[in-house]
Chains A and B, each alone.
Chain A
Amino acid sequence: MRSSNFSYLVKQGVVSVWHNRVMSFASFCILMVSLLLIGLAVLISIDIGIIIGNIEDTNEILVFVDESVSAAELSYISEIISSYKDEFVDRVVYISPEEALASEREWYGENFFVLFDSIGENPMPSTYIVSLWDITKINEAVSRFEEIDGVISVSAPFDFAEILIAIRNTFAVIGLAILIALLIVCLVIIYNTTRSSVFARRMQISIMKHVGATNAFIRIPFFIEGMFIGILAGVASWGLTKLAYESVVSVFEEDIMLLQIFGISNVVVFDDIMWLALAANCLAGALLGAIGTVMSMGKHLKV
């Protein structure tokens, strides 16, 4: 196709947005709301992932070491635990018996601690506090640590880990399902909205077919029109997403209790992903608008 004719078709697509302004506005609004919902769904599911990740980070395995183990053997145990960093270990912190006792003293208070003093010697063992970067491997980690010479026992919060894994998996499935459902609903609504717009122009399509226009040639202006509306809706929904998301996050930030419960301090900051979100919104809007419009043309192209 000649560039002059292509640019003519592009111009026709943009002009027809104005000619069919009522339907264009309806499509714009539907796309904008759909993209807003999709954007918020994506951001919230990312945030939930981050929050669960934060909770997982506080989930620690305690590796207790026999009191007869020498300093060299302690260092060897530390090396073995750290050697699993590629597989599941995130951080390894050594707590000496003295540090453990001090910690207990602080936790229980001086009055209660008289009981410990009556024992005479320090009952606390040397301990490694190990946090995992992949909580799903907690069982494997525990069995590996138990095999290390000098380790007397390993304590891990299996139930808590299982709950976290289940929550994360459930959120992942729900998030994906919501996203797919929103995309389908959006396409169906756009399809129905643009179908009436295309129906109003069926004569134009029929004329084009009779004078020998190819389906691709006929689709181009409609494609451009859908894309143009989609991009406008993408920009508008981006602004609304920013407003809505930042409002929700600020509610959490202002409430210290919620902040502590959800560990929300590390959630996505909209300004950090501003340009990426704008590009994604425009791209999604353009694709949804164009595909929805072109889908609704099918029947009218059979002339």
Chain B
Amino acid sequence: MVELKNVDVYYKEGDVEALNDVNLRINDGEFVFIVGSSGAGKSTLLKLLTRERTPTNGRVFVNGYNLSKLREWKIPKFRRSIGMIFQDFRLIPNLTVYENVAFVLRVTDRSRRFIRQRVPYVLNLVRLTEKARAYPSQLSGGEQQRVAIARAFASDPGLIIADEPTGNIDPELSYEIVELLKDINKCGTTVLMVTHEHDLVKYFGGRIISLKKGSVDFDDYIGGNNEE
């Protein structure tokens, strides 16, 4: 579960109020699109949810952690309970596809046996079994993002946060990526996807949270075109 209560974020540098009295609640198992123009506060919201920063005022709860009061040494443990997907994929270039996915499991100190079982499973889920030995530079943008999705899902987190995951790939592949995230969501994982691609949002529908000038401008469900 994700919950923000009366959250303000104020950047001293530049004298900017990035978020202003934001209240949100996202229940377990939901799939939510977060939209908004540049400067609306999307990046700040993600930084709060990944505990890259703390709010100036208010409280942030993610997966049972009160991030406003979370001690530095507990951050790694918290981050293991979420999966992150980035617009620029952020795969480690000198590791193979298999190693990139296995890497997150090593970080969480999983056994070698578990890694040997889990990595092929998630690579199969994103249909990249054949590319297990390839390096990121040998993959297309869409394939790299699928590896990033596999990596985010490998540790079976309760929440996946996708920061514009379709921003660096061909438009026709964007739908495939969102489909993949939807499939993961069906397994019970909460998915929070930040995007500025309105066509995608209209196509898939569901809960949409729109940010505008640091505040929640719209938070409701819409029907998707794919349901027609």
Contacts and interface: CB of A to CB of B under 8 A. Distances in A.
Contact of B79 (A1, A8, A212): A212
A213 B111 contact: no
A2 B90 contact: no
Q: Is the interface on chain B under 10, 10 to 19, 20 to 34, or 35 or more residues?
A: 20 to 34
B84 A211 contact: yes
A19 B95 CA distance: 11
B202 interface: no
Interface string B77-120: 11111001000001110100000000110111101100000000
B151 interface: yes
Given A210-B50, A211-B79, A217 B107 contact: yes
A207 interface: yes
B111 A212 contact: no
B76 interface: yes
B112 A210 contact: no
A272 B87 CA distance: 62
A168 B81 CA distance: 64
Main secondary structure on A side of the interface with B: helix
B85 to A, nearest CB: 10
B130 interface: no
Contact of B94 (A4, A19, A210, A303): A19
A89 to B, nearest CB: 61
Contacts of A210: 50, 79, 84, 90
A153 interface: no
B109 A213 contact: no
Contacts of A303: 52
Given A4-B112, A303-B52, A213 B107 contact: yes
Interface residues of A, number: 21
A4 B92 contact: no
B109 A204 contact: no
A211 B77 contact: no
Contacts of B81: 212
A211 B107 contact: yes
Nearest to B100: A207
A16 B104 CA distance: 18
Contact of A213 (B76, B84, B112): B76
Contacts of A209: 76, 79
B131 to A, nearest CB: 19
B108 A203 contact: no
A4 B111 contact: yes
A217 B79 CA distance: 14
A303 B151 CA distance: 19
Contacts of A2: 109, 111-112
B111 A211 contact: no
A212 B81 CA distance: 8
Contact of B103 (A16, A19, A211): A211
Interface in A109-143: none
Given A212-B77, A303-B52, A206 B107 contact: no
B92 A207 contact: yes
Nearest to A8: B106
A208 B107 contact: yes
A276 to B, nearest CB: 39
A169 to B, nearest CB: 48
A250 B151 CA distance: 63
B90 A206 contact: yes
B123 to A, nearest CB: 17
Interface of A: 1-2, 4-5, 8-9, 16, 19, 203-204, 206-214, 217, 303
28 contacts: A1-B109, A2-B109, A5-B106, A9-B106, A204-B92, A207-B90, A207-B91, A208-B107, A209-B76, A209-B79, A210-B50, A210-B90, A211-B79, A211-B80, A211-B103, A211-B104, A211-B107, A211-B108, A211-B155, A212-B76, A212-B77, A212-B79, A212-B80, A212-B81, A212-B107, A213-B76, A213-B107, A217-B76
Given A19-B94, A210-B90, A214-B76, 14 more contacts: A2-B109, A2-B112, A4-B112, A203-B90, A203-B92, A206-B90, A207-B91, A209-B79, A210-B50, A210-B79, A211-B84, A211-B151, A217-B76, A303-B52
